[in-house]
């Protein structure tokens, strides 16, 4: 979603556990995710009606999103993730830690991970 003005909608990631929706600012846009379906099968792009539920939840989480009138790009795809949704962290060497996996919590924490003090990283 691209804001209609130069004003940022938010300056840090936000997540609603209850609605399973995440809002993550990126340069010039806002990335929003929501919903999760378990199991295999044929993937298809959700229609605008299906995409409306997580968008409405995101609007409740961050009221500034209502200023964005463009629908944005709707996608659905398979994502490998841990059962907890938390990333797997492993040291790669001095001052380097890899965070891998995919889940709502990883998306929320990813922008902050590079700024985390080394003492906060665990394996």
In which domain, by residue range, is 100 found? 88-120
Q: Is the pLDDT of residue 117 over 80?
A: no
Same domain, 15 and 34: yes
Of 41-50, 79-88, 89-98, 112-121, minimum mean pLDDT range: 112-121
Q: Does the residue 83 lie in any domain? A: no
Same domain, 53 and 101: no
Number of domains comprising the chain:
2
Between the two ends of the chain, the Cα-to-Cα distance in Å is 35
Q: Is the pTM of this model over 0.75?
A: no
pLDDT of 6 reads: 47
Q: Is the pLDDT of residue 53 over 80?
A: yes
Q: For 74-88, what is each residue's pLDDT tens digit?
A: 777 666 667 776 777
Element (H, E) at 92: strand 88-93
Q: Is the pLDDT of residue 123 over 50?
A: no
């Amino acid at each position: 979603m691209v804001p209609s003005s130069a004003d940022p909608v938010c300056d840090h990631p936000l997540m609603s556990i209850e609605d399973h929706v995440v809002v993550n600012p990126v340069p010039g846009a806002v990335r929003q995710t929501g919903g999760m379906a378990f199991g295999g099968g044929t993937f298809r792009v959700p229609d605008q009606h299906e995409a409306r539920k997580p968008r409405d939840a995101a609007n409740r989480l961050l009221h500034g999103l209502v200023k964005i009138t463009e629908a944005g790009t709707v996608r659905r795809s398979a994502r490998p993730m841990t059962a907890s949704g938390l990333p797997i962290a492993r040291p790669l060497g001095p001052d380097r830690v890899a965070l891998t996996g995919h889940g709502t919590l990883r998306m929320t924490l990813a922008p902050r991970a590079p700024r985390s003090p080394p003492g906060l990283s665990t394996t």
